[in-house]
Homo-oligomer: A and B are copies of this chain.
């Protein structure tokens, strides 16, 4: 098996999920590469070292440019805050490295376009970590749709509900809280949570043509950790939109961090002429399935426990009835990337697909600002 040397940029929440994926993928999947945790890069050397020790990275680096330029590195994985994605990805592509990037690809579609151009010009393998596609239940939904079981699609709806920023005491900015700092994050829940919903939606249901959105910032100012001052909050706390898909179906999308009682409730539902599918992240190992072709008196929503060998990815894990969790979606995505890379291809979602999501989030933010329906480019 070929070794694939990883240069990891970032060591936060996503640095952990990606490192875990690289550590675990060969234990469960037969892929043509063995990822080697070569270098982790962070500005704070002490934290980088602690992270390296825990995960077994061979070295640390404080300047990402050195990692990008290192001949020892085959793949740059960008798990650092959103404002760093474009610069690092473009440099990595120019250096001929494979590039993985945490979502959203850019803070704006304009940023993302530069990234797409870079990887396509360089011809390097690339992928955006929209991990929820690789939850087995979601992958099964994709297969059922591809098999044509739903018929004409009428409705799509998705929500991503959290409640962790309701307190006015919570500051913005800096370590662990950069998602609340618009300069770093680009937007609030639109780029953070809705981006996930949009990526899955377009993968399952095709492109979105137009949107009408509303956003709100419920808490208008918060102390900023970097300046120490109370500053206006620039992000959207909640973002809701109506959409039309290219296939004629209608949709509602909603993301918020102010839905008391929901920790990370990403739900999706799709209603077709013949069948419907629903899924939620709080019970990610289940898929809800309704098939109108079932005998009349016995029609009902089936709660599928996605733990059988014939379910996507599940033949690699344990035995029927024993569930996997959140982290496994990253392991699956790593496996799919390594298989694709072995065939000289990128894995889905590519940077180009990541750009498409940014184009929708741009339209959402424009619609909310302009109070108009906006076409998606």
A residues adjacent to B (C-beta < 8 A)? 13, 16-17, 19-20, 23-24, 26-27, 54-55, 140, 154-155, 157, 159, 161-164, 166, 212-214, 216, 218, 238, 240-242, 244, 248, 250, 252, 254, 256, 258-265, 271-276, 281-286, 289-292, 294, 296-305, 307-308, 310-311, 317-328, 371-373
**Out of B19, B260, B285, B321, which one reaches A276, CB within 8 Å?**
B260
Q: Which residue in chain B gives the minimum CB-CB distance to A54?
A: B27
Q: Are B303 and A301 in contact (CB under 8 A)?
A: yes
Q: Are B303 and A154 in contact (CB under 8 A)?
A: no
Chain B neighbourhood of A244, CB < 8 A = 214
Q: Are B265 and A321 in contact (CB under 8 A)?
A: yes
Chain B neighbourhood of A292, CB < 8 A = 163, 260-261
Q: Are A323 and B282 in contact (CB under 8 A)?
A: yes
Q: Are B273 and A166 in contact (CB under 8 A)?
A: yes
Q: Are B238 and A241 in contact (CB under 8 A)?
A: no
Chain B neighbourhood of A302, CB < 8 A = 294, 298-303
Chain B neighbourhood of A16, CB < 8 A = 318
Q: Which residue in chain B gives the minimum CB-CB distance to A275?
A: B260
Known: A262-B276, A298-B304, A372-B372. 7 other contacts (CB 8 A): A263-B320, A296-B308, A297-B304, A301-B302, A302-B303, A317-B327, A318-B327
Kindly provide the distance from the CB of A291 to the nearest chain B CB, expressed in whole angstroms: 8
**Out of B155, B273, B298, which one reaches A238, CB within 8 Å?**
B155
Kindly provide the distance from the CB of A178 to the nearest chain B CB, expressed in whole angstroms: 15
Copy total for this chain: 4
Of the A-B pairs whose beta carbons lie under 8 Å apart in the complex, a sample of 16, sorted by A's number, is A19-B27, A154-B166, A154-B259, A212-B212, A214-B244, A216-B250, A240-B250, A241-B242, A242-B242, A260-B273, A260-B275, A261-B276, A264-B322, A296-B310, A298-B302, A298-B304
In whole angstroms, how far apart are the Cα atoms of A318 and B328 in the complex? 12
Q: Are A155 and B301 in contact (CB under 8 A)?
A: no
Known: A238-B154, A242-B240, A260-B292. A26 touches B13 (CB 8 A): no
Q: Are A318 and B154 in contact (CB under 8 A)?
A: no
Q: Are A303 and B303 in contact (CB under 8 A)?
A: yes
Chain B neighbourhood of A274, CB < 8 A = 260
Chain B neighbourhood of A164, CB < 8 A = 320
**Out of B27, B260, B272, B323, which one reaches A325, CB within 8 Å?**
B323
Known: A252-B254, A305-B263. A319 touches B13 (CB 8 A): yes
